[in-house]
Structure 1
């Protein structure tokens, strides 16, 4: 009976740590609950030790264990960047409906929640004087957001999203951003028809996109303006995106398209914006080139040009990726392919281990993958760039030319893919400058606001490019061209050899 009692005491003592694990993997738990249990733990252990006049081995072990539990719990709450995060939860990723309304107090609670996590987890708040002015800018942006909310009579979910993104945009960190998630987003039904005939959108309601961008720069989290402009283009083709920008669409929207130097206006009503499923159905019926379902990683060979093209839509490291990569290089070897192109033009990132796996097929012994610093509360832990030993696939070693196709949408780990190839002099970059600074922030923790259910991701690491001597704040392609023409450019390069 006494043994069972002691087991019960031990389990109760471990409860604060268990709650942190539950918070990490299942459901967010308010820190005050964990701290309260921890204080109860401390009181119970103190009473246990004080009640015994003589020191026993059990009490000594109990005291040491409680000390460890206190340190682990406090670290888990205040230094762990994933505390109260939904990063590892099975979350639905559905925000409240766009037109739901809120009081100023509710909207402020949403803003304050993310602002608190921003201060707790983002590296910019531990870097001291070098970032002091940026922190002041963020505080000014916070005060301006509250001022705008207070003066708004009708606060909706989209309003909260807009104001939260304005706050996060003041960091100029493309990874730290807010987004509204919904299956009810409405897209301009005819957007793809314009795109298919070569129409270029140049104005919305008579305002040139360049002017619209100039007046809405602070609405987007970005490092390079090309990425922000791409975000603007995405916003103006949806009803909720237009509302995010503060554009009144109640009387309809006029889009001005340019084709071969001629501009033409097209006016649309609210009925011309449809849900994603309706948009897909309408366009797939008219698009005879509609693509069948395809894997995120795939390849094709052009034997005549001796070119293998590997397309990676997302940086996911799994059996599918490894198997496809192995099969690709087996075909490359079998057909004596001299040129390999990796298409990352629509890749928004993911796990950087996809790069390491690719490099195993190249005949190099060692390469550099950049360095980083990880913020864990009051700690800022460096990860030095000592070089990575390459565990080569000797039976499928490739020694030909390597090309990386990029666009403004090549982001995060996909940008790093191009960076590592360029900085280690392993190949050539073809296309557009990726929309991110290689000396920037990343490795995000994701949070959800309590009322509007807006999602916000916050960087926890600072990254430095693979070639520490290269001070460029972007990955400049060796061959700069429109992303749509990048593959044509590679054929041109091959033909010129």
Structure 2
């Protein structure tokens, strides 16, 4: 059976940021966005220019986001007030971005975020990070670093200090997602500079190797020099383990198309042909997409109906412009939704065996929905690590651009409510059986979640 190693896939930022499409609330009209070019990061902005942008951001958040229906809370108002104080003197657009980002982060919604464009001239450090439960490690050997090195500090700051700083500038609902995005951003010059981790175009790194601390100076380099490349493995595939009567369906992205539907059908044909008693849905790299993949999967499961996501919609002037809503500005709540399962025509493919779901901190947005739907309908056992998203959260973003700096930002206008609200409040979907990946697992090419799954099957 093919190894299914978590955490080793490079993340594509756009997939992480724009990832939640729910079938229940799709509306026919979609806005065509004609964004202008963003201001260069080193451009000096005046107080008046920054005030114009900050006003636009604050007013948009207040008008659009479901969380601000009754205005900003005390903590959010404090962050906003602080932001206005910070812009009393001129600063670069790159510095101003982080002032704006702290305002965005005060909503604690991973789908509401502000984006800064990067260019080939932007520099990074070659630090392949993997952030596990017990700390940060080097995931790949380089000229200076060895795979498995434990990162003690970056720029003189410890893991705990870095995490506390990143929580202020990474939109997230839990620490898992801060770590997912943090490992990417801690290599970028803009973030390193903001966190004051750069010294004379170098970043001092201390790692623990063979029970000794080793100090390394990593230079800022052009991105092309890092040699990092994306993993091009298929986003949807499956394995059949006849010995353990186990089929593992792996879905890295929620893409609802013919490739998905054909692969899904082939999977259940093999499950039926081999009389497989256990199946697992591997969502450990799934950062979201189209939630229709869930309903399509359910067509092969022996249930007549199931609870699905519902939620609240804040219909603002901006939402009407971008989504084509009609009527008055309003806030609408929808009742609990029960889906009548449209099972596949071939009854031989209907599966009624045991179901397991594998999750990690990368399980996010519609990927998180998939796991939550299985949990809240008592259809499967969740194995792995807590997800990077709250089960009930916000999404379906509207897109905007600041008038002066040109920074693009996205604001949720819906509050998604999980199928079984009795399981709330939760800041993450916590597995029934928690199994964390360790650095030893990675070094020895072990898959602890699948190994645990096989052990459970064997002991039944």
Q: TM-score, normalised by structure 1?
A: 0.73
Mapping 1:95-110, distance limit 5 Å:
95-110=38-53
Q: Is the 8 A contact 1:348 1:412 kept in 2?
A: yes
Match of 2:363?
410
Structure 2 stretches of 5 or more lacking a match? 1-25, 130-136, 141-146, 317-328, 438-446
Matched residue of 1:181: which SS?
coil
Deviations 1:178-201 (A, max 9, x none): 222324343323537931321232
User: What is the rounded CA distance, in whole Å, between the counterparts of 1:183 and 1:262 in structure 2?
Assistant: 38
Note the C-alpha offset of 1:149.
2.1
Could you tell me which of 255, 267, 270 is aligned with 1:328? 267
Note the C-alpha offset of 1:254.
0.8
User: What is the rounded CA distance, in whole Å, between the counterparts of 1:181 and 1:388 in structure 2?
Assistant: 41
Match of 1:239?
189
Q: CA RMSD in A?
A: 2.7
Match of 2:415?
462
Q: TM-score, normalised by structure 2?
A: 0.79
Could you tell me which of 117, 121, 135 is aligned with 1:181? 117
Deviations 1:129-184 (A, max 9, x none): xxx6x434323322211211223x4313x223211110011112222122223243
User: What is the rounded CA distance, in whole Å, between the counterparts of 1:97 and 1:307 in structure 2?
Assistant: 53
Cα 1:468/1:164, change in 2 over 3 Å:
same
Q: Is the 8 A contact 1:443 1:459 kept in 2?
A: yes
Match of 2:5?
none
Q: Is the 8 A contact 2:197 2:203 kept in 1?
A: no
Match of 2:134?
none
Mapping 1:39-438, distance limit 5 Å:
88-89=31-32, 95-126=38-69, 128=70, 134-151=72-89, 153-156=90-93, 158-184=94-120, 185-191=122-128, 194-196=138-140, 197-259=147-209, 261-270=211-220, 273-275=221-223, 277-279=224-226, 282-283=227-228, 291=231, 293-377=232-316, 378-395=329-346, 396-438=349-391
Q: Which moved more, 1:228-237 or 1:432-441?
A: 228-237
Note the C-alpha offset of 1:458.
0.8
Match of 1:496?
459
Q: Is the 8 A contact 2:287 2:362 kept in 1?
A: yes
Matched residue of 2:449: which SS?
helix
Matched residue of 2:289: which SS?
coil
Note the C-alpha offset of 1:379.
0.9
Match of 2:20?
none
Between Structure 1 and Structure 2, which shows a larger proportion of strand residues?
2
Q: Is the 8 A contact 1:94 1:183 kept in 2?
A: no
Equivalent pairs counted in the alignment come to: 396
Higher relative contact order (CA 8 A, sep 6+): 2
Q: Is the 8 A contact 1:188 1:237 kept in 2?
A: yes
Note the C-alpha offset of 1:251.
4.2
Between Structure 1 and Structure 2, which shows a larger proportion of helix residues?
1
User: What is the rounded CA distance, in whole Å, between the counterparts of 1:355 and 1:246 in structure 2?
Assistant: 43
Bigger Rg, which one? 1
Matched residue of 1:115: which SS?
helix
Deviations 1:243-290 (A, max 9, x none): 2434334341111223454432211122xx331x443xx246xxxxx8
Q: Is the 8 A contact 2:104 2:113 kept in 1?
A: yes
Deviations 1:379-424 (A, max 9, x none): 1112211311000114221122222111112111111111000010
User: What is the rounded CA distance, in whole Å, between the counterparts of 1:178 and 1:442 in structure 2?
Assistant: 14
